[in-house]
Structure 1
Amino acid sequence: MQAPFFQQIALLDRLGFSGMMQLVYTDPPFYSGKVQKADAGAFVDRWPTLTAYLEFIRTYMVSILPLLAPTGFFVLHCDYHASHYIKVIGDEVFGYENFRNEIVWHYTGRRTPAGLRVNSKHDVLLIWARSGAARMQPLSDPWGREHYIRMKKQQVHVDENGREWIWGHKGRGQSHAYRIYIDEAVRQGRYIDSVWDMPIIAISSKERTGYPTQKPVQLLDRVVELLTTPGQWVGDFMAGSGTTGVAAVSRGRPVVLGDSNPDAVAIIRRRMAQITR
């Protein structure tokens, strides 16, 4: 499985993509020890040893380096099986100083009583920058007036023009330092943090492709918007169901997708054909 996979990345380098990728997102096997199956595909996530799995991840990271732009980002999607090992490897490959964020994707789903451990309902997205020149885009979540006022727990004032405001502070002893106008705060929204509450894809959703471990477009939308601007290249070389491609093309980013699994390639071709018509 690995040989054709690394050949496709080397081909991109030869085709002139060196230093062009603003974002490479990767959702690899998680070292789950399972055969992941669904209606329209399957892949084997079994490895001889943890060492063999981590060497695959390391080799992949090293192969990505030449493709990244100086301002680019590498994102690896993983979970509790190996995230702590992968973080160390990524710091060695990309540089500890270039690690930017551990994003926790928290999702809903059926919960069972704790026996050996409590329910695991989150994945982790590890983000490294190619260099100190890389910059993220400021993103915010919407919120309403009532939510904002309830969170601030302050008296609301009204100025001579009828605009509502509350006091802003600059620290201890400076609680009445400046005015925060509520309409501006609501319009700006609340800047995102490192915990993203987003649902998984519902069984009945039209978005579902039938490929195992498919990620929701909402999640990849945020990754693409956070780390790229329109016109910048996006890559995903373990593209699975092609969700990265859907998010990138929908937002005006050119994208290169690949996968070593024929089931995945068939789904990717179909989804991309639908979105680019």
Structure 2
Amino acid sequence: MATPLTAARFLAALRAEGLDVVEVGDWSDHNRNSKGAWGPVHGVMIHHTVTRGSAATVDLCRRGHSTLPGPLCHGVITKDGRVHLVGYGRTNHAGLGDDDVLRAVIDEKPLPADNEANTDGNARFYGFECENLGDGADPWPTAQVEAIVRAAAAVLRAHNWGRDGNTSVIGHSEWQPGKVDPRGPGISMPDIRARVAERLKHPASWSPGGTSTYTVGRGDTLWSIAASKLGDGARWREIASLNSLKNPDDLSVGQKLKLPKR
């Protein structure tokens, strides 16, 4: 249980965890606070958007739609691993859920099955929507899942939550009966929780699996290095964070870079 972070602390926590954060419009003042309180907060909730395309997904989560006004979350995690901040305060991301699940989150105990919807989740959780069709087949890229882990860890670290069982991070399907998100190949909430718990044993700048060293050659970019050495060009942001590069385009031939595990 905690008072929500200020918007500035929330942003700083995400960036400290090595995330590429995009601030969308007046995100820090865009909320549904007129409809009720936000806080005290207890954890982080992960969803999928049932949408295709990063720009359209971010716009939808910011604006909402005719039956559910935006913002629909605090941050949108797109397939490239970027976190787009679209709102801060009360958002329409969780809806009603199970009070027994909330109690388990607060106590950091194993989650019971959700079988009722009697508690306002919009007031109690940080929410991250993740770009995915939600059809059970749309894959979750490595960069996106890593961003989910880091975003959740950033919030938990700032609040000093989740040091043991880590049930401070839940999926929408674990909160509200009938929901299935997030689902699909490459993601599971037990795995997300385990990875977040591992991150919290290390500093925010930690990269799992240790590092290797790469010497920058002529024509190299962070994207080309990530693509050739890590198998995923989108992971260039991990390299930038690991090496504290303020300008990812500012590389020099012969420069030594630490690379995260492939």
So what's the TM-score if we normalise by structure 2? Answer: 0.28
So what's the TM-score if we normalise by structure 1? Answer: 0.27
Indicate the structure (1 or 2) with the bigger Cα radius of gyration.
Answer: 1
Bigger strand fraction: 1
